[in-house]
C-alpha cells in the first residue's frame, strides 16, 4: 500500500469473519435434529469449510446423513468475546448457514450464507471473499496480548488516551484495551451509563508479534508528545479486573 493511512479502517468483513472463526473455542449448531453446543470440537479448512468432530450418536450426524445433499440444513453461530473484562464483552457474532456432509470421520459444513454482526451492524459476507480470506495474523495471540496489556501495562493504556479526542473521553470512568489486529488497537471507553470504542491505527500493518511490538512503541511515542486530555477519574474502582 502506498499511502500510510490506507489501512486505518478495520479489517474487511471477510477477514474479520475468518478471524472470529479461527479464534472461537465453541459454537452453537442448529439443525433439523435440534440444537447442540459444541466446545473445542471444530476446525477450519483453508477454503472456509467448518469441520465438526461429533460423536457417532449425535443428532447432527443423523441429520447430515438424512438431509438432501446441497440443501442448507444447519446454522452455526460463533461469538467473539473480548478477552479483557469490559462492559458488553460480545464484540461480534458470526453465523454460517449451509449443508453438512460426512467427511473423513467428521462433519464438514460448506457455507451458503455468512453473516457477520458487529456493533456497526450486520453484513452478509461474499462467499468467494470468505473462502479466499485468511484470519488476521494476530487473531490466535490476541487474547494473550490484550490480557497482558490490561493487567501489566495499565500505565501504557492510560498514556494512549492522549491520542484520543478529548470529546470521546468526556465522562469516562475507565479505558480498557478491547481488540487488536494487524491494522490497529481498539480501546473501550466506559462511562457511568454507556460506553464507546476508539480505534488507534498503526502506521503500517503488523503481520507478527515483533511488528506489533514496534507498532505499539510508535503509538506510545506519539502519545508521549501529545497533550494530555481529560483522563478517567475512577480507574480501577468499579469492581472490574
Residue 64 confidence (pLDDT): 72
- Contacts (Cβ under 8 Å, ≥6 apart) of 124: 113, 114, 115
Dihedral class, residue 239 (left if φ above 0, else alpha if ψ from -120 to 50, else beta): left
The pTM is what? 0.85
Q: Is the pLDDT of residue 195 over 60?
A: yes
Residue count of the chain: 241
Specify whether the CB–CB gap between 29 and 38 falls below 8 A: yes
pLDDT tens string 117-151: 998 899 999 999 999 999 999 999 999 999 999 99
Main-chain dihedrals φ then ψ at residue 206, nearest 5 degrees: -110, 115
Residue 147 confidence (pLDDT): 97
Averaged pLDDT for residues 101-108: 84
Specify whether the CB–CB gap between 122 and 82 falls below 8 A: no
- Which of 109-123, 135-149, 181-195, 219-233 is the least confident region? 219-233
**Cα dist. 92→11, 12, 16, 178 in Å?**
13, 14, 9, 12
Q: Rounded CA gap, 158 and 223, in Å? A: 10
Confidence of residue 79 (pLDDT cuts 50, 70, 90): very high
Amino acid at each position: 500500500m502506498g499511502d500510510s493511512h490506507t489501512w486505518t479502517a478495520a479489517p474487511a468483513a471477510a477477514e474479520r469473519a475468518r478471524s472470529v472463526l479461527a479464534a472461537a473455542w465453541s459454537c452453537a449448531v442448529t439443525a433439523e435434529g435440534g440444537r447442540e453446543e459444541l466446545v473445542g470440537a471444530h476446525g477450519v479448512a483453508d477454503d472456509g469449510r467448518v469441520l465438526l468432530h461429533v460423536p457417532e450418536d449425535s443428532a447432527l450426524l443423523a441429520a447430515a446423513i438424512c438431509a438432501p445433499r446441497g440443501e442448507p440444513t444447519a446454522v452455526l453461530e460463533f461469538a467473539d468475546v473480548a478477552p479483557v473484562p469490559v462492559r458488553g464483552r460480545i464484540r461480534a457474532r458470526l453465523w454460517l448457514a449451509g449443508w453438512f456432509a460426512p467427511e473423513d470421520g467428521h462433519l464438514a459444513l460448506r457455507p451458503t450464507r455468512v453473516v457477520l454482526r458487529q456493533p456497526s451492524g450486520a453484513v452478509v459476507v461474499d462467499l468467494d471473499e470468505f473462502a479466499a480470506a485468511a484470519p488476521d495474523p494476530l487473531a490466535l495471540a490476541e487474547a494473550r496480548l490484550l490480557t497482558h496489556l490490561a493487567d501489566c501495562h495499565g500505565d501504557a493504556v492510560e498514556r494512549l488516551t492522549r491520542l484520543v479526542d478529548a470529546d470521546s473521553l468526556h465522562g469516562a470512568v475507565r479505558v480498557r484495551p478491547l481488540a487488536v489486529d494487524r491494522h490497529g488497537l481498539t480501546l473501550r471507553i466506559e462511562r457511568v451509563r454507556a460506553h464507546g470504542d476508539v480505534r488507534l491505527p498503526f502506521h503500517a500493518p503488523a503481520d507478527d508479534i515483533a511488528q506489533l511490538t514496534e507498532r505499539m512503541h510508535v503509538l506510545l511515542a506519539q502519545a508521549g508528545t501529545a497533550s494530555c486530555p481529560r483522563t478517567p477519574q475512577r480507574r480501577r474502582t468499579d469492581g472490574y479486573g
